[in-house]
Copies of this chain bind each other. A is one copy, B any other.
């Protein structure tokens, strides 16, 4: 799904995928920057804990945002597709100045939210300027094409190495993977990219975020790196002919390692240094 056109009245809001395990207590750099974009102390943050099966995930993030200084942080317990029709929850979303989607299982997010008024609201509100942040599963759900699962660790690219699913479609210029270095996910991101190399692959380390602005440029924030794999100059791929389980050949990928402060323009596919 392409990003919503929204009302076209203003600039699109930031899309902020976070690689999971973001620092929450001592130096919550990423969360603070998100709160700043959402209005600072006057922010009204709505938390969507649907990906998580832990009942304290919502209340926990409320406390985290309150500790950062946000006066108004609430979670909406969307546990079923029926919950995603509730007017009171939709009203909370419309009154918010920022939306935060927690980690867990991205397939819970997509199966519960997908196609509902809540998903539609998130898409439209973001198009009209509201920043939307998500960590881990909450980051995975953001693009048009979501990495739903696949092999982490010890895996080279293979035809069956990844499962894709439709995502929220807040961006359609990238594929996002998270816990990237920590879970050795280069292989599965390469697999996902090789299916149709029109997007850019974004591998987010833990405690690391990409703050994507309305122009499709992002800045790296956090303690790890963002691994950008640009397959647009791919000169050879054996994905179309390889036997199931056999490793896939991919020639001519471009690779950029971006640390805090570095930026990347997804349209021109150009990295810009923090220096």
Smallest Cβ-Cβ distance to A153: which chain B residue: B184
Is A95 among interface residues, defined by CB-CB distance under 8 A? no
Smallest Cβ-Cβ distance to A246: which chain B residue: B259
Given A157-B257, A248-B259, A249-B262, verify A184-B187 contact (CB < 8 Å): no
Cβ of B252 and Cβ of A253 under 8 Å apart?
no
A:240-275 near B, CB below 8 Å? 241-242, 246-260, 262, 271, 273-275
Q: Which of A235, A236, A241 has the most CB of B within 10 A?
A: A236
Instruction: List, in ascending order, chain B residues with CB within 8 A of A260's CB.
Output: 247
Q: How far is the CB of A159 from the nearest CB of chain B, in Å?
A: 12
Instruction: List, in ascending order, chain B residues with CB within 8 A of A229's CB.
Output: 255
CA distance A205 to B246 in the complex (A): 13
Cβ of A273 and Cβ of B251 under 8 Å apart?
yes
Smallest Cβ-Cβ distance to A152: which chain B residue: B184
Cβ of A190 and Cβ of B156 under 8 Å apart?
no
Given A181-B184, A181-B187, verify A256-B248 contact (CB < 8 Å): no
CA distance A83 to B81 in the complex (A): 74
17 interchain pairs, CB-CB under 8 A: A154-B181, A156-B181, A157-B225, A184-B184, A229-B255, A236-B271, A247-B257, A247-B259, A248-B259, A249-B259, A250-B255, A251-B257, A251-B258, A251-B271, A251-B273, A252-B256, A253-B256
CA distance A230 to B88 in the complex (A): 55
Give the number of residues in A that approach B within 8 Å (Cβ atoms).
41
Cβ of B254 and Cβ of A253 under 8 Å apart?
yes
Q: How far is the CB of A192 from the nearest CB of chain B, in Å?
A: 13
Cβ of A249 and Cβ of B273 under 8 Å apart?
yes
Given A236-B271, A238-B273, verify A250-B254 contact (CB < 8 Å): no
CA distance A271 to B236 in the complex (A): 9
Instruction: List, in ascending order, chain B residues with CB within 8 A of A274's CB.
Output: 238, 249
A-B interface, 6 closest residue pairs, ranked by CB to CB distance from nearest: A184-B184, A253-B255, A255-B255, A250-B257, A247-B259, A251-B271
**What per-residue 1/0 map shows which CB atoms of A101-121 lie under 8 Å from chain B?**
000000000000000000000
Q: Which of A154, A224, A260 has the most CB of B within 10 A?
A: A154
CA distance A258 to B236 in the complex (A): 10
Given A182-B154, A205-B156, A238-B275, verify A250-B246 contact (CB < 8 Å): no
